[in-house]
Structure 1
Amino acid sequence: MKNFKRVLAKCAGIVSVFCFGNMAIAQSKITCDLFVLSGMAFGKNPSIQRSFLSIKDAEANFLIQKSMFDFNLGSDVTYKKSRYNLFENDPRNQYLNRILTDNVDLTSTLSKKFRTGQTAEFGLQYSYNRNNYPFNDFSQYVGPNIGNHSSYMSFTLSQPLLRGRGNVNTLYEKISALYIENSKHNFEYSNSYEILQIANAYWSYYTAYKSVDIYRQNEARVRNVLEMTKELVKADKKPAGDLAQVNADLANQERLTIAAEQNLYNAKLNLGRVIGLSESESAMLDVPVNDFPSVVESGFGNTIDKEALINMALEKRADVKAVARVAEAIKMEVDIAHNNLRPQLDLSGFVFYGSASVGNGLGNTFNAFSNYQGRNFGGGARLTFNFPLNNNLAKGNYAKAVVASKDQAVNNENLKRNILLNITTDINNLNSSVIILNKAEEALMFYKEAFRNEQEKFQTGLTTLLNVILFQERLTSSELDYLQAQQIFANQIVTLRHDTGTLISQGENGFTVDPRSYYTIPNN
């Protein structure tokens, strides 16, 4: 009984270790689902992350341009104390031999530029000074250290008459807003491009995975031929020399299998690379779970409406929207440069108010702003003109802006031209890939039948070992060709999706990839 319990405990321990081991292995794997990996890339891919940061940079530039219309508050406080030794002939020597002075100066300004071009500024100045000389400015005896307070307030409104007049002042802000939109559209296009790379890398990984199976099956077929040859040699139906040829072929197939396994490992790491995984994370990618799309489920028809796909691309592609925003921004920059060709002519109107008081104490400080005696108020106008005679800076900037606008127009047309060419190429490649896929499948079916027939003839002595090996190699090559044709077809679907702007979509929770995007052509 004790031995039974001991054995049962050992078995329980072994089962526990096995279960925990399997759990650890399972946790160390990353599910290689194309849709899961695509979602993972939005958070890990470095190119996507950098493209997102460009949006933040554009938003920061918008704030910089918006700051032109901020309220600006400036102020300073100065305290100064001095001692002045009088000259011998100074008449004040009969009362004192040095003058001790205290000064406090306060200055504050509040200014704002409006979007219509006007600039308003409110200014406030306050001064307090005292000294030990007992007479005031009117030679009246008031005693030493009596404070003098003075205040001055002003309001100025300036209106540009030529340069800087009107809504041209808001163009920089609008340009920055357009570049934010441009960055967002570029971010979307970058995401689509990276998802395209991930899909291509996944299909390469899946092809490599399937290729290993094909080479292993090929090895098994060669081993089967080897066993068959051994039996025929024993039965004196085949010469023993045939074994050397089969063994050589087996060694060669084992070499090809090892090379296929190496290619599989490289394809796995490359898939992890485009997703944004580290080396260790890439190594944890599990076997691929998504199969190739079929022609039937793709919605492929004999005719594809090229014009409809081109119009779809021009409407939905994010890079088309991005360059349109840049074109708008550059047009506004031309308007700014044209405005800067004008002279600077500003009309300013201002009013001011000042007052003063004499005496120490807090009450006299505030009296400086309202005391009737010493009050000073008025207003006026000022006309300011400024214009460089040659004005080469403004002329040069305007010329550069015009060139940039024309260059952008060429770039926009070139993008549209390339879209048309790319979609035309995509449609042709898709049509060809379907034909190639169908022919590859047909060839594979016939090679399977031919290899079975050749095996049967070899057993009956109606064919040579060389023919068996030859048909077996052709079967393997046909299987690989069919697999390659499937990969090309899958790549053509996702390429057409990217080129028409229908690979990814944006919702409230960010960018997503519809599973149909990997398996169906647009409008299907």
Structure 2
Amino acid sequence: MRNSLLLYILLAVGNILYSQSKIKCDLIEVSSIAFNKNPSIKSANFSIQNAEGNFQVQKSVFDFKLNSEVGYQNERYNLFDADSRNKYLDKVLKNNSFYVSAGLEKTLRTGQIVDVSLKYNYNNNNYPYNSFAQYVGAYYGNHNSTVNLTLTQPLLRGRGKKVATALEEASVFYINKSKYEYEFSNSYQIQQIGIAYWNYYTSYKSFSIYIENENRVREVLNMTIELVKADKKPASDLYQVNADLSNQERLTAVAKQDLYNSRLNLGRVIGLTDEESQRLDIPINDFPTVMESGFNDGIDTNALIKIAKDKRSDAKAIEEEYKAIELRYMQAANNLKPQLNLAAFAFYGSASVGNGIDESFTSLVNNEGRDAGAGARLTFSFPLNNNLAKGNYSINKIALQNQSVIIENTHRNIELNIDIAINNLKNSIIVLEKARESFKSYQDAFNSEQIKFQSGLTTLLNLILFQERLTSSELDNLNAQEQFSNAILALRHETGTLISKEDLGFKITQNAFYTIPKIEN
């Protein structure tokens, strides 16, 4: 008694752990898992991050640029014999110079370039007289500081805000394109998960049908054994039934293998590992019915095409790419022009002489040696062949024309695919209805044939034949339900209504797998 209780506890714990290790095979749950597991979904998300990185690259054109320099130079110059400074310097002029500069440059989004810089220079030498022939002693310092401000206005190439920000704005469109492509890729992957799920469910139900069929053959076998014992049937009939049973056992083994493969294939599409795929539990969602799908014979193809053009994220993606290419084309056309820049500049500087750190600081504000001014300059540059600009212009022009073709072709394919999807849906409903009628008729026929066989009114061969037809019709009915379920998925994906984009991610509802898109009046 004690050992039995312990065994019961161990079995109960084992069952609990086993059930906890299983992955619930629900359409919504496995679809949600895919957003974190599916490699195609992950890869599509990386393309968004890549586009955002490119936006940052284009944005860097308008970053502040800090330029700085510091240097020191020691110079020894041998004087000519005729140089009058020889009597003070012993034929060698020794010069020391130290300089520091710092500048800040920024390209504005209106196209102008602003440059502000500060330069400081210190110089001394061993010549005891200054430039005014005053005796000041050797290594007497000279300080000079200058502040410069330059504003450059492009007059031809690069002129205007639209040209200056073209690549930055284009990169925003490419981000939008990547997001729309990510959404469409997710829709496609969810469709594949739905198809794989219905295949798994079909395999699961098929396996049950084959087991049921195998049991029916065993019942026939038992029935035949009893009839043989009662001398109502010849013993040779047992060979036929045993052969049929062996064949049914073979088909059951094949169905079991198909069930195993379809489970792992579903795991593959979700993004699960082999070990995780084997832990997928039995499918719990049944096939949709025609009634709950909301289908009616008067389905409006044009209305669904309009929904698709409004909602299909791949159509939105190519339109965003068109906008980006259009901006690049506009900039390429601008780059055909020469570079003609007008720069206005102003400067202020001052100088001081003497040694000491205080002289360095006062060099910018010293009244003596003060220098201020302003001016303008015009610069022109143009490569004579201009092959780079011409080549880029041609490339972007062709890309824009090609994108127009892609947009037109995408819309054309949307119309064709929706027409095909609707036709497939209608046809799948006809097939489903006929498969159900056939299955019901074969059920009645087999039951009737069983009664006849027991009464000796029909042959064993006829009973086996009706039994095989019943199994075949039941499998056909199951496959018709799978075809109808996949037709709903295809129509949902083609109209862009399989998943929806929310603020916090993507939303999948049960209705997307069970109903056709709702047409708003």
Write the deviation string for residues 23-75 of structure 1: whole angstroms up to 9, x where unpaired.
22112210101110011111111111111111111111111111111111110
Partners of 1:513 and 1:19 lie apart in 2 by 36
Aligned to 2:375: 380
Aligned partner of 1:51 among 44, 66, 69: 44
Partners of 2:231 and 2:130 lie apart in 1 by 141
Aligned partner of 2:61 among 63, 68, 71: 68
Look up the equivalent residue of 2:134 and give its one-letter code. Q
Q: Which range is displaced more, 363-372 or 514-523?
A: 363-372
Aligned to 1:4: none
Partners of 2:347 and 2:140 lie apart in 1 by 27
Aligned partner of 2:72 among 75, 79, 99: 79
Partners of 1:16 and 1:126 lie apart in 2 by 88
1:98-109 alignment to 2 at 5 Å?
Answer: 100-109=94-103
Look up the equivalent residue of 1:375 and give its one-letter code. R
1:246-325 alignment to 2 at 5 Å?
Answer: 246-325=241-320
Write the deviation string for residues 148-194 of structure 1: whole angstroms up to 9, x where unpaired.
21112211111111111112111111111111111110010000000
Write the deviation string for residues 280-316 of structure 1: whole angstroms up to 9, x where unpaired.
1111111100000001111111221111000000000
Tell me whether 1:148 sits opposite 2:149 in the alignment: no
Aligned partner of 1:219 among 214, 217, 221: 214
Partners of 2:355 and 2:5 lie apart in 1 by 97
Look up the equivalent residue of 1:343 and give its one-letter code. P
Aligned partner of 2:237 among 221, 242, 253: 242
Aligned to 1:439: 434
Tell me whether 1:165 sits opposite 2:125 in the alignment: no
CA pair 80-14 structure 1, distance change in 2 beyond 3 A: farther
Measured after TM superposition, the shift of residue 461 of structure 1 is 0.8
State the Cα RMSD in Å. Answer: 1.6
SS of residue in 2 equivalent to 1:378: strand
Tell me whether 1:402 sits opposite 2:402 in the alignment: no
Partners of 2:5 and 2:221 lie apart in 1 by 44
CA pair 141-12 structure 1, distance change in 2 beyond 3 A: farther
Write the deviation string for residues 179-220 of structure 1: whole angstroms up to 9, x where unpaired.
111111001000000000000000000000101000000100
Look up the equivalent residue of 1:370 and give its one-letter code. V
Look up the equivalent residue of 2:117 and give its one-letter code. G
Partners of 1:466 and 1:79 lie apart in 2 by 110
Aligned to 1:120: 114
Look up the equivalent residue of 1:415 and give its one-letter code. T
SS of residue in 1 equivalent to 2:119: strand
Aligned to 1:365: 360
Partners of 2:326 and 2:357 lie apart in 1 by 59
Measured after TM superposition, the shift of residue 391 of structure 1 is 2.9
Look up the equivalent residue of 1:495 and give its one-letter code. A
4+ residue segments displaced more than 6 Å: 85-89
Partners of 2:246 and 2:78 lie apart in 1 by 111
Look up the equivalent residue of 1:240 and give its one-letter code. A
Aligned to 2:327: 332
Partners of 1:217 and 1:449 lie apart in 2 by 16
Measured after TM superposition, the shift of residue 252 of structure 1 is 0.6
Aligned partner of 1:29 among 22, 33, 42: 22
Q: Which range is displaced more, 350-359 or 387-396?
A: 387-396
Measured after TM superposition, the shift of residue 84 of structure 1 is 5.5
Q: Which range is displaced more, 58-67 or 479-488?
A: 58-67
Partners of 1:509 and 1:398 lie apart in 2 by 41
Aligned to 1:342: 337
Partners of 2:138 and 2:277 lie apart in 1 by 87
Partners of 1:169 and 1:102 lie apart in 2 by 44
Q: Which range is displaced more, 493-502 or 355-364?
A: 355-364
Partners of 2:344 and 2:78 lie apart in 1 by 45
Partners of 2:457 and 2:449 lie apart in 1 by 9
Tell me whether 1:514 sits opposite 2:518 in the alignment: no
Tell me whether 1:188 sits opposite 2:204 in the alignment: no
Partners of 1:206 and 1:139 lie apart in 2 by 105
Partners of 2:183 and 2:358 lie apart in 1 by 66
Partners of 1:423 and 1:242 lie apart in 2 by 54
Partners of 2:4 and 2:455 lie apart in 1 by 53
Tell me whether 1:417 sits opposite 2:412 in the alignment: yes
1:453-468 alignment to 2 at 5 Å?
Answer: 453-468=448-463
Look up the equivalent residue of 1:140 and give its one-letter code. Q
SS of residue in 2 equivalent to 1:301: coil
Look up the equivalent residue of 1:266 and give its one-letter code. N
Aligned to 1:199: 194
Tell me the matched-pair count: 517
Look up the equivalent residue of 1:483 and give its one-letter code. L
Partners of 1:50 and 1:218 lie apart in 2 by 45
SS of residue in 1 equivalent to 2:369: coil
Write the deviation string for residues 356-408 of structure 1: whole angstroms up to 9, x where unpaired.
11112221001111112222221111111122333333233222222211111
Partners of 1:169 and 1:304 lie apart in 2 by 50
SS of residue in 2 equivalent to 1:198: helix
Q: Which range is displaced more, 352-361 or 220-229?
A: 352-361
Partners of 1:191 and 1:184 lie apart in 2 by 11
Measured after TM superposition, the shift of residue 227 of structure 1 is 0.4
SS of residue in 2 equivalent to 1:302: coil
Measured after TM superposition, the shift of residue 90 of structure 1 is 5.8
Look up the equivalent residue of 2:25 and give its one-letter code. C
Aligned to 1:42: 35
Q: What TM-score results when the alignment is normalised by the length of structure 2? A: 0.96
Aligned to 2:489: 494
Write the deviation string for residues 255-300 of structure 1: whole angstroms up to 9, x where unpaired.
1111111111111111011111111111111110000000111111
Q: What TM-score results when the alignment is normalised by the length of structure 1? A: 0.95
SS of residue in 2 equivalent to 1:186: helix
Tell me whether 1:129 sits opposite 2:139 in the alignment: no
Measured after TM superposition, the shift of residue 12 of structure 1 is 4.3
Q: Which range is displaced more, 128-137 or 483-492?
A: 128-137
Measured after TM superposition, the shift of residue 351 of structure 1 is 1.0
SS of residue in 2 equivalent to 1:419: helix
Look up the equivalent residue of 2:62 and give its one-letter code. F
Q: Which range is displaced more, 192-201 or 358-367?
A: 358-367
Write the deviation string for residues 417-455 of structure 1: whole angstroms up to 9, x where unpaired.
111011111111111101110110010001011111111
Look up the equivalent residue of 2:61 and give its one-letter code. M
Look up the equivalent residue of 1:210 and give its one-letter code. K
SS of residue in 2 equivalent to 1:355: strand
Measured after TM superposition, the shift of residue 83 of structure 1 is 5.2
Could you list the runs of 5+ residues in structure 2 that have no partner in the other structure?
Answer: none
Q: Which range is displaced more, 405-414 or 475-484?
A: 405-414
